[in-house]
């Protein structure tokens, strides 16, 4: 019965997104970008029926709901972490780096970014993947003095503090903990505030499983 509830397509990835803090339909879609809106809606209803989450209308926002994990849903955190650690440990690296999604990568980088090494003023990092189509080529991470981090796929109009130019494969490898910024040589180009550039490995939002050593051949 547990398998019937949890092992349908995308379900555990959706639960992972909620454990990471997403509560709105739009944010859940950004966290699981390959999942269609109709399937997402269906899975949310199924998880609600199973007692894994609750759905509450947002006051003053007609048609908008807040999705929260129940005690049963929160109890899945250990399962999600075990999935991630197993994948980081055993899934073959080259196969992983062939299945890249810039939206998902940037969304997770935004969520896990550590603002503490950055200036106390607003900091804007512009990341460009030259090999991608125009719609997915440019991203802006905006770190506010409140430590809140925004992700923009259109120019927010702020002064940029650091320009990062690299390819998606290189950035994904860094995010997964397979490589480090300082070891990438000409595969990554940093231009702007030298203090922000020098601490990029520290503030960059890495995968929560990046510390797990790879054992796959």
Residue 97 has pLDDT above 70, yes or no: no
Phi-psi region of 177 (alpha: psi -120 to 50; beta: other; left: phi over 0): left
Q: What is the pLDDT of residue 96?
A: 64
d(CA 23, CA 65): 8
Closest by CA to 170, choosing from 209, 136, 202, 128, is: 128
Which of 216, 178, 217 lies closest to 90 in space, CA to CA? 216
- The full set of domains in the chain, from first to last, is 2-90 (1.10.10.10), 100-203 (3.30.1050.10)
Q: pLDDT (tens digit, 9 = 90+) per residue, 122-150? A: 999 999 999 999 999 999 999 999 989 99
CA–CA distances in Å: residue 168 to residues 88, 103, 128, 153, 205: 18, 11, 9, 15, 15
Distances in whole angstroms, Cα of residue 186 to Cα of each of 80, 149, 164, 167, 177: 36, 28, 12, 11, 18
Cα–Cα distance, 120 to 104 (Å, whole number): 27
What is the tens place of the pLDDT at every residue in 72-94?
999 999 999 999 888 888 876 66
- Decide the pairing of beta strands 162-166 and 188-192: antiparallel
pLDDT class for 214, splitting at 50, 70, 90? low
């Amino acid at each position: 019965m547990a398998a019937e509830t949890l092992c349908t397509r995308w379900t555990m990835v959706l639960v992972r997104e909620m454990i990471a803090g997403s509560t709105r339909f739009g944010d859940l879609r950004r966290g699981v970008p390959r999942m269609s809106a109709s399937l997402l809606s269906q899975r949310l209803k199924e998880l609600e029926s199973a007692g894994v989450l609750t759905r509450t209308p947002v006051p003053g926002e007609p048609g908008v709901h807040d999705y929260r994990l129940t005690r049963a849903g929160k109890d899945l955190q250990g399962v999600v972490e075990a999935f991630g650690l197993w994948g980081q440990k055993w899934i073959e690296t080259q196969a992983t780096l062939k299945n890249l999604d810039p939206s998902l990568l940037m969304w997770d980088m935004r969520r896990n970014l550590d603002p503490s090494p950055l200036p106390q003023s607003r900091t804007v990092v512009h990341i460009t993947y030259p090999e991608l189509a125009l719609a997915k080529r440019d991203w802006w991470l905006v770190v506010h003095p409140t430590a809140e981090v925004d992700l923009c796929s259109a120019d927010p109009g702020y002064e940029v503090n650091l320009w990062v130019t690299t390819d998606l494969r290189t950035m994904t490898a860094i995010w997964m903990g397979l490589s480090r910024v300082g070891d990438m040589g000409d595969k990554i180009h940093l231009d702007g505030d030298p203090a922000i550039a020098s601490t990029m490995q520290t503030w960059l939002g890495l995968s929560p499983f990046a510390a797990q050593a790879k054992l796959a051949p």
